[in-house]
């Protein structure tokens, strides 16, 4: 297949960069966008505000296109955590409501629900992500059992498990949640930008992500989707000055335009309470435009081809894959365990010394290529791997 790799990585300390599931280095196009934004404000100050407000709206539209949503149902936030906290503290909880989370998840999608459970006296149940490996039926059975008892209100799950790369059966989990009167919140930071993820097809109620991983932008900006009826039912606990209808009109009008009685918007955009990082939005607009141009389906195929090529050599060298045997349970991440006596820190450090960047969360070697990685790199990665007999 056609190699999608960008020729824009010469400035990286690790030219073979396989850690996009952690932080994706900005491309030259993103760096240029940031420079243009800073230069514009340096030259024009407040006069630049309107133009970059338009970029913000274009970024919202890009995110909506990536996740199959309407732009009006997408908010831009300070990151995935900010999005989850906003929902966790805005749902109209009732004492004893059940919230279901999963062991093995990144804490971003657990801690806010724990805090909500403590504050609102909720029934917090935690299931095992490992039960969803393979055909996922054992995991779905455990979820259904948790939904059948108590008073289920919300299921919070990540689309892709950050360490193992396991893609969760979101559509099936959503059907179960809805059948028992519960909503579902999906942390999609490890999915959107590298694999197909459509909130309408999946029928999810909420989804969120950040910009610094597979979206290839900067830290400090995220996105939040909410089904319209779900957004309308939320308490506006995080509303700020930008949460009102026509929030900036008074800046360009007369004295009578400064009013505090403008309604808070009914959409999820109410969480955009205050000023955000315009530089971060400029980066995200450029990176998402690039992703849309390349096409998520093409990116997904490219990344899987990279993993397929790498898997054979890793197996021959004694590395044990955690890649699921069922293709539907795969993602942009493939993790491995090293052969004894090597340890994960050994391998991560050894590869770094050979200018290959990977990460090692919770004892696994996590490999996460993106469109910027060429298939020609595979031979160099395999050559850099330590073997059982040496380092």
pLDDT < 70 regions, the chain: 1-14, 388-391
Could you read off the pLDDT of 139-151 as tens digits, one per residue?
999 999 999 999 9
Contacting residues for 92 by C-beta, under 8 A, at least 6 apart: 233, 234, 235
Alpha-carbon gap, residue 297 to 4, rounded angstroms: 12
| Same domain as 348, residue 310 | yes
Residue 390's pLDDT is 42
| Same domain as 339, residue 373 | yes
| Same domain as 380, residue 265 | no
* Cα angle 102-103-108, degrees, rounded to a multiple of 5: 70
| Same domain as 364, residue 216 | no
Q: Is residue 359 in some structural domain?
A: yes
Last residue of a domain, one of 261, 291, 321: 291
Q: Is residue 110 in some structural domain?
A: yes
| Same domain as 372, residue 354 | yes
Task: Kindly list the distances between the CA atom of residue 281 and the CA atoms of 93, 147, 210, 249, 270, in Å, as whole numbers in the listed order.
Answer: 32, 39, 11, 21, 18
Last residue of a domain, one of 291, 316, 331: 291
Could you read off the pLDDT of 99-150 as tens digits, one per residue?
999 999 999 999 999 999 999 999 999 999 999 998 899 999 999 999 999 9
What is the tally of structural domains in the chain? 2
Residue 118 main-chain phi, psi, to 5 deg? -70, -45
Residue 2's pLDDT is 47
What domain range is 367 assigned to?
296-384
Q: Is residue 269 in some structural domain?
A: yes
Could you read off the pLDDT of 247-266 as tens digits, one per residue?
888 888 888 889 899 999 99
Q: Is residue 69 in some structural domain?
A: yes
Contacting residues for 39 by C-beta, under 8 A, at least 6 apart: none
Q: Is residue 350 in some structural domain?
A: yes
Alpha-carbon gap, residue 300 to 337, rounded angstroms: 24
Alpha-carbon gap, residue 64 to 81, rounded angstroms: 19
| Same domain as 191, residue 210 | yes
| Same domain as 329, residue 204 | no
| Same domain as 104, residue 75 | yes
DSSP state of 99: E
| Same domain as 223, residue 163 | yes
| Same domain as 312, residue 263 | no
**pTM to 2 decimal places:** 0.94
Last residue of a domain, one of 251, 269, 291: 291
Residue 248's pLDDT is 86
Q: Is residue 20 in some structural domain?
A: no
Q: Is residue 374 in some structural domain?
A: yes
Q: Is residue 14 in some structural domain?
A: no
Contacting residues for 289 by C-beta, under 8 A, at least 6 apart: 62
């Amino acid at each position: 297949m056609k190699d999608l790799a960008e020729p824009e990585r010469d400035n990286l300390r690790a030219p073979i960069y396989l850690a996009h599931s952690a932080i994706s280095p900005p491309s030259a196009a993103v760096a240029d966008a940031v420079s243009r934004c800073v230069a514009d404000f340096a030259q024009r100050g407040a006069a630049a505000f309107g133009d970059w407000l338009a970029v913000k709206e274009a970024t919202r539209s890009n995110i909506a296109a990536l996740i199959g949503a309407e732009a009006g149902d997408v908010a831009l936030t300070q990151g995935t955590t900010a999005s989850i906290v906003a929902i966790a503290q805005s749902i109209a909880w009732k004492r004893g409501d059940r919230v279901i989370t999963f062991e093995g998840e990144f804490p971003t999608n657990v801690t806010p629900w724990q805090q909500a459970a403590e504050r609102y006296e909720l029934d917090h149940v935690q299931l095992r992500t490992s039960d969803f490996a393979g055909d996922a039926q054992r995991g779905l059975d455990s979820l259904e059992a948790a939904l059948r008892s108590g008073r289920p209100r919300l299921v919070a799950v990540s689309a892709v498990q950050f360490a193992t790369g396991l893609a969760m059966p979101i559509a099936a989990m959503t059907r179960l949640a809805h059948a028992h009167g519960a909503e579902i919140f999906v942390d999609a930071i490890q999915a959107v930008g590298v694999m197909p993820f459509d909130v309408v097809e999946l029928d999810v109620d909420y989804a969120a992500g950040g910009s610094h991983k597979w979206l290839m932008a900067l830290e400090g900006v995220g996105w939040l989707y909410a089904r319209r009826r779900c957004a309308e039912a939320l308490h506006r606990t995080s509303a700020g000055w930008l949460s009102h209808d026509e929030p900036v009109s008074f800046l360009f009008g007369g004295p009578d335009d400064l009013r505090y009685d403008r309604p808070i918007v009914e959409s999820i955009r109410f969480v955009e309470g205050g000023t955000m990082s315009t530089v971060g939005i400029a980066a995200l607009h450029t990176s998402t435009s690039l992703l849309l141009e390349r096409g998520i389906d093409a990116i997904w195929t490219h990344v899987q081809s990279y993993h397929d090529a790498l898997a054979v050599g890793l197996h021959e060298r004694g590395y044990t894959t955690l890649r699921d045997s069922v293709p539907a349970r795969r993602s942009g991440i493939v993790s491995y365990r090293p052969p004894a006596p090597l340890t994960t820190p050994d391998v991560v450090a050894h590869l770094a010394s050979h200018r290959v960047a990977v990460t090692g969360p919770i004892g696994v070697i996590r490999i996460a290529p993106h469109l910027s990685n060429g298939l020609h790199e595979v031979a160099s990665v395999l050559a850099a791997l330590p073997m059982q007999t040496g380092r």
